[in-house]
């Protein structure tokens, strides 16, 4: 049974704070193992990759077969049923259009002092994308990571995807092709991250690594951070649904279960002002949990981390949502726009009854790589911004240096940085002697 809270309860604040602080993930400490793997790949390159892949993926590789050939990709892609290929193409197109709209502009201007200022955005030169193998090898995740990179202008985009026992997912390779991925390697785990960060004879090093992975992959990404950039380390998925009584309880139950079925550590929370609706949703969930293919996982998530919170009104719902800062937020009320403007922290918002969160996972356009575990308080989902960087620009005219240089001299002196000050003084002197 999920947690039942009511803001009218005397112990509500205590119980809600406990919900906020709930630890849903036990990361095994694999750091020492990962350190060994990274060091091995740095030292022995492809030889280490091949050995580790034989051990972990039961797959025998040579330097020539680490990378998928285009012919191999063609052959795999040919197996994808047309209906799936078309769905993936539509998803790729919609994700591309949405992310293209995110590209920021360069700027240059001259200010009153005569200083020309601005910035330029440039793409990361080479990015690596980790794609998990086996059951969690999601083509949708590949699109969500690879398309922003390519929209941003990343020239070289390499994918690593483990193929345990040599089994590759044709849809993942089709997604890679649709997204414009340049290289696909059949390696995984910490060894793939190490190869992307440090390079081997077969896999040239990249500048940034993104993509989800297990505890080994996460630990490896943390370790190589600094040498290369990394994206966030994502935790288990979560959804918060704010719904009034005028909703179909079966639909909301499905939305809650669509997070719960991801992972036993996922979290689904319903916030509503209608106790009757809450009861109806709970009944519907119970029924679903007798039929869903992944009922065991979804049931465990719902029992251990699910919650139903009854609030007095929607203002209270918004307050609680802002304290939770959910990864996914569905607002299913009569006027969702009115609540939207009051939401301070959320990864992605889905408005109204026709927008199940699953639309965002696949086809809506916005990214599905989003901040979990309350980190929407301080971070954003994946976007083109993760694959570009800004260089600031300044050019002083002699007039500008005359106007603002003396203040720089004063501040340099106040910080006891003499050469800083002199680099301005020397130039001002020349200007004054003109």
Residues 383 and 358: their CA atoms lie apart, in Å, by 19
Q: Based on the shown chain and the rule CB under 8 A, indicate whether residue 162 belongs to the binding site for a second copy.
A: no
User: Which of 2, 128, 139, 211 is in the footprint of a second copy by CB under 8 A?
Assistant: 139
Q: Based on the shown chain and the rule CB under 8 A, indicate whether residue 104 belongs to the binding site for a second copy.
A: yes
Q: Based on the shown chain and the rule CB under 8 A, indicate whether residue 238 belongs to the binding site for a second copy.
A: no
In the bound state with a second copy, the residue whose beta carbon lies nearer, of 66 and 324, is 324
Shortest reach from residue 322's CB to a second copy, in Å: 9
Q: Looking at 99, 183, 328, 330, which residue is catalytic? A: 328
Residues 330 and 241: their CA atoms lie apart, in Å, by 5
Q: Looking at 327, 330, 345, 368, which residue is catalytic? A: 327
Q: Based on the shown chain and the rule CB under 8 A, indicate whether residue 223 belongs to the binding site for a second copy.
A: no
**Taking CB under 8 A as the criterion, which residues in 117-136 touch a second copy?**
117, 119-120, 122, 124-125, 135
**Taking CB under 8 A as the criterion, which residues in 64-103 touch a second copy?**
83-84, 86-88, 90-91, 94, 97-98, 101-102
Label the pairing between strands 115-123 and 107-110.
Answer: antiparallel
**Taking CB under 8 A as the criterion, which residues in 369-388 touch a second copy?**
371, 373, 375-381, 383, 385
Q: Based on the shown chain and the rule CB under 8 A, indicate whether residue 111 belongs to the binding site for a second copy.
A: yes
In the bound state with a second copy, the residue whose beta carbon lies nearer, of 67 and 99, is 99
For residue 223, which of 191, 201, 200 has the smallest C-alpha distance?
Answer: 191
User: Which of 115, 177, 199, 244 is in the footprint of a second copy by CB under 8 A?
Assistant: 115
**Taking CB under 8 A as the criterion, which residues in 18-57 touch a second copy?**
none
Q: Quick count: other Cβ atoms within 10 Å of Cβ 412?
A: 18
For residue 323, which of 337, 307, 302 has the smallest C-alpha distance?
Answer: 307
User: Tokens standing for 26?
Assistant: 């036990």
| Secondary structure (3-state) at 116 | strand
Residues 96 and 149: their CA atoms lie apart, in Å, by 10
Shortest reach from residue 6's CB to a second copy, in Å: 26
Known catalytic residue: 328?
Answer: yes
Shortest reach from residue 418's CB to a second copy, in Å: 5
- Surface-to-core class of residue 103, CB atoms within 10 Å of its CB (0-12 exposed, 13-18 middle, 19+ buried): middle
Do the annotations mark residue 43 as ligand-binding? no
User: Which of 198, 277, 302, 350 is in the footprint of a second copy by CB under 8 A?
Assistant: 350
Residues 67 and 1: their CA atoms lie apart, in Å, by 48
Do the annotations mark residue 14 as ligand-binding? no
Do the annotations mark residue 4 as ligand-binding? no
Q: Based on the shown chain and the rule CB under 8 A, indicate whether residue 343 belongs to the binding site for a second copy.
A: yes
Shortest reach from residue 186's CB to a second copy, in Å: 20
Q: How many residues bind a second copy (CB under 8 A)?
A: 123
Known catalytic residue: 327?
Answer: yes
Find the helix or strand (DSSP H, E) in which 70 lies: helix 70-77
Q: Based on the shown chain and the rule CB under 8 A, indicate whether residue 234 belongs to the binding site for a second copy.
A: no
**Taking CB under 8 A as the criterion, which residues in 302-341 touch a second copy?**
336, 340
CB contact set of 92 (below 8 Å; sequence gap of 6+): 143, 147, 175, 178, 179
Question: What is the torsion angle, in degrees rounded to the nearest 10, for the CA atoms of residue 257, residue 262, residue 265 and residue 271?
Answer: -30
In the bound state with a second copy, the residue whose beta carbon lies nearer, of 71 and 101, is 101
Residues 341 and 361: their CA atoms lie apart, in Å, by 23
Do the annotations mark residue 357 as ligand-binding? no
C-alpha distances in Å from residue 326, one per residue of 25, 40, 370, 373, 377:
16, 39, 10, 8, 9
Q: Quick count: other Cβ atoms within 10 Å of Cβ 353?
A: 18
Residues 297 and 23: their CA atoms lie apart, in Å, by 18
User: Which of 159, 420, 432, 433 is in the footprint of a second copy by CB under 8 A?
Assistant: 420
Shortest reach from residue 51's CB to a second copy, in Å: 26
Which residues are catalytically annotated? 327-328
Residues in binding site for NAD(+)? 130, 191, 214
Residues in binding site for Zn(2+)? 259, 262, 361, 420
């Amino acid at each position: 049974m999920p947690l039942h809270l009511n803001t009218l309860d005397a112990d509500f604040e205590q119980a809600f704070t406990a919900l906020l602080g709930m630890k849903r993930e036990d990361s095994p400490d694999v750091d020492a193992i990962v350190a060994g793997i990274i060091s091995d790949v740095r030292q022995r390159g492809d030889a280490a990759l091949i050995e580790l892949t034989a051990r972990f993926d039961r797959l025998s590789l040579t330097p020539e077969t680490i990378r998928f050939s285009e012919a191999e990709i063609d052959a795999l892609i040919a197996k994808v049923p047309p209906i799936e290929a078309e769905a993936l193409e539509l998803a790729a197109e919609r994700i591309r259009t949405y992310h293209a709209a995110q590209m920021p502009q360069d700027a240059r201007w001259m200010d009153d002092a005569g200083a020309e200022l601005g910035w330029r955005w440039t793409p990361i030169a080479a990015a690596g994308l980790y794609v998990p193998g086996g059951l969690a090898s999601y083509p949708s995740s590949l699109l969500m990571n690879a398309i922003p990179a390519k929209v941003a202008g990343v020239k070289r985009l390499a994918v690593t995807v483990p193929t345990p026992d040599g089994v590759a997912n044709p849809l993942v390779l089709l997604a890679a092709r649709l997204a414009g991925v340049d290289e696909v390697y059949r390696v995984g785990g910490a060894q793939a991250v190490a190869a992307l960060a440090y390079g081997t004879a077969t896999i040239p090093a990249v500048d940034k690594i993104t993509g989800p992975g297990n505890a080994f992959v996460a630990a490896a990404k943390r370790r190589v951070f600094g040498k290369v950039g990394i994206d966030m380390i994502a935790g288990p998925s979560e959804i918060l649904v704010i719904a009034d009584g005028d909703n179909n309880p079966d639909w909301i139950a499905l939305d809650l279960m669509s997070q719960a079925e991801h992972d036993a550590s996922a979290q689904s929370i319903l916030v509503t002002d209608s106790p009757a609706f809450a009861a109806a949703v709970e009944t519907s969930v119970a029924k679903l949990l007798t039929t869903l293919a992944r009922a065991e996982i979804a049931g465990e998530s719902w029992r251990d981390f699910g919650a139903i919170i009854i609030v007095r009104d929607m203002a209270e719902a918004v307050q609680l949502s802002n304290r939770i800062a959910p990864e996914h937020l569905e607002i299913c009320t009569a006027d969702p726009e009115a609540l939207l403007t009051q939401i301070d922290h959320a990864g992605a918002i889905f408005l109204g009854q026709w927008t199940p969160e699953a639309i965002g996972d696949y086809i809506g356009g916005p990214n599905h790589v989003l901040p979990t575990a309350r980190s929407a308080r301080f971070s954003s989902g994946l976007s083109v911004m993760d694959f570009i960087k800004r260089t600031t620009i300044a050019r002083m005219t002699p007039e500008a240096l005359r106007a603002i240089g003396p203040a720089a001299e004063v501040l340099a002196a106040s910080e006891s940085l003499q050469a800083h000050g002199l680099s301005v003084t020397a130039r001002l002197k020349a200007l004054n002697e003109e």
